[in-house]
């Protein structure tokens, strides 16, 4: 069994898969775990020496869980196609996988949003548990997005970062948040949470205050202000969608 495999989940990522693979070429194996792309993702990946496996996509948690079962390595490093592993992070990963006391590692991320790194308003350290001792990890099957690792062991935190080319444009940001808002509203609905009149005002206000002031979004200039406003708006949108869900069932 190889010590470490870098696994990249893909669906039509031909425009950025090459740069991602280059950033993990130091791993013992690079696996592109593809959801039947209909562009050149697989062709580009194979041309760069990566192994390509295909698996139908249901949700992110199940996809990562399927990769854990399919890729035979002691350690799995999950990397998204829009993420890059820095040389410093690569060196740190090589060091920590030699330890036997930690089975899962959280990795911080620098997020590029609208063309620049945003280290404020809640976008850093943005820890992701992505380095896993394969036999000790699985994913919560109830989490369709913002997937959650269930780890049968100890966890630790790395110092060096992923670089995440997150949102290039406002349209890209809004499209992603629309999906998350629907999902979050559904979770609240399934939990039996009913929106109260004050939620439509107080919760977005609290979201803005939290991101802009408490998480120092003001230090990120116009990007920090815009992101704080947008996240407040999507908090409002979540409660409006939650109201519609209750209306649809006549309650």
**pLDDT tens sequence for the chain (251 residues):** 899 999 999 999 999 999 999 999 999 999 999 999 999 999 999 999 999 999 999 999 999 999 999 999 999 999 999 999 999 999 999 999 999 999 999 999 999 999 999 999 999 999 999 999 999 999 998 887 789 999 999 999 999 999 999 999 999 999 989 989 999 999 999 999 999 999 999 999 999 999 999 999 999 999 999 999 999 999 999 999 999 999 999 86
Q: Are residues 156 and 80 in the same domain?
A: yes
Given 147, 166, 185, the domain boundary residue is 166
Residues 38 and 84 in one domain: yes
Residues 97, 209, single domain; the answer is no
Q: Could you say which of 166, 192, 219 is where a domain stops?
A: 166
Q: Closest by alpha carbon to 176, among 161, 166, 185?
A: 166
- Same domain (yes/no): 144, 226: no
The residue segments making up the domain with residue 176 are: 169-248
- Split into its structural domains, the chain has a count of 2
Residue after which a domain boundary falls, among 146, 166, 186: 166
pLDDT at residue number 234? 97
Residues 188 and 155 occupy one common structural domain: no
Q: Looking at the structure, do residues 94 and 177 belong to the same domain, yes or no? A: no
Q: Are residues 76 and 40 in the same domain?
A: yes
Same domain flag for 58 and 178: no
- Predicted structure pTM score: 0.93
| Tens of pLDDT, residues 75-126 | 999 999 999 999 999 999 999 999 999 999 999 999 999 999 999 999 999 9
Is 180 found in the same domain as 159? Answer: no
Give the 3-state secondary structure of the chain.
CEEEEEEEEECCCCCCHHHHHHHCCCCCEEEEEECCCCCCHHHHHHHCCCEEEECCCCCHHHHHHHHHHHCCEEEEEEEECCEEECHHHHHHHHHHCCCCCCCEEEECEEEEECCEECCCCCCCCCCEEEEEEHHHEEECCCCCCCCCEEECCCEEECCCCEEEEEECCHHHHHHHHHHHHHHHHHHHHHCCCCCCCCHHHHHHHHHHHHHHHHCCHHHHHHHHHHHHHHHHHHHHHHHHHHHHHHHHCCC
Do 219 and 207 belong to one domain? yes
Please check whether residues 6 and 66 belong to one and the same domain: yes
CATH of the domain at 160: 3.90.550.10
**Are both 6 and 69 inside the same structural domain?**
yes
């Amino acid at each position: 069994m190889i010590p470490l495999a870098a696994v990249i989940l893909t669906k039509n990522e031909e425009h950025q898969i090459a740069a991602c693979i280059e950033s993990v070429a130091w791993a013992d194996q690079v696996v592109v775990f593809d959801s039947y792309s209909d562009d050149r993702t697989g062709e580009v990946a194979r041309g760069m020496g990566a192994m390509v496996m295909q698996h139908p996509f249901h949700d992110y948690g199940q996809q990562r869980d399927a990769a854990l079962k399919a890729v035979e390595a002691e350690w799995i490093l999950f990397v998204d196609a829009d993420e890059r592993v820095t040389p410093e992070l690569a060196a740190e990963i090589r060091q920590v996988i030699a330890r036997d006391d930690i089975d899962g590692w959280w990795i911080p991320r620098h997020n590029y949003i609208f063309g620049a790194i945003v280290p404020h308003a809640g976008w850093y350290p943005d820890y992701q548990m992505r380095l896993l001792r394969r036999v000790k990890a699985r994913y919560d099957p109830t989490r369709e997005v913002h997937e959650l690792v269930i780890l049968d062991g100890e966890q630790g935190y790395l110092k060096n970062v992923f670089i995440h080319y997150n949102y290039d444009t406002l349209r890209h940001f809004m499209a992603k948040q629309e999906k998350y808002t629907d999902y979050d509203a559904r979770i609240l609905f399934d939990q039996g949470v009913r929106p109260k009149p004050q939620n439509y005002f107080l919760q977005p206000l609290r979201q803005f205050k939290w991101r802009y002031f408490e998480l120092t979004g003001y230090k990120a200039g116009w990007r920090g202000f815009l992101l704080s406003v947008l996240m407040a708006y999507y908090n409002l949108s979540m409660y409006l969608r939650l109201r519609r869900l209750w209306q649809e069932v006549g309650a």
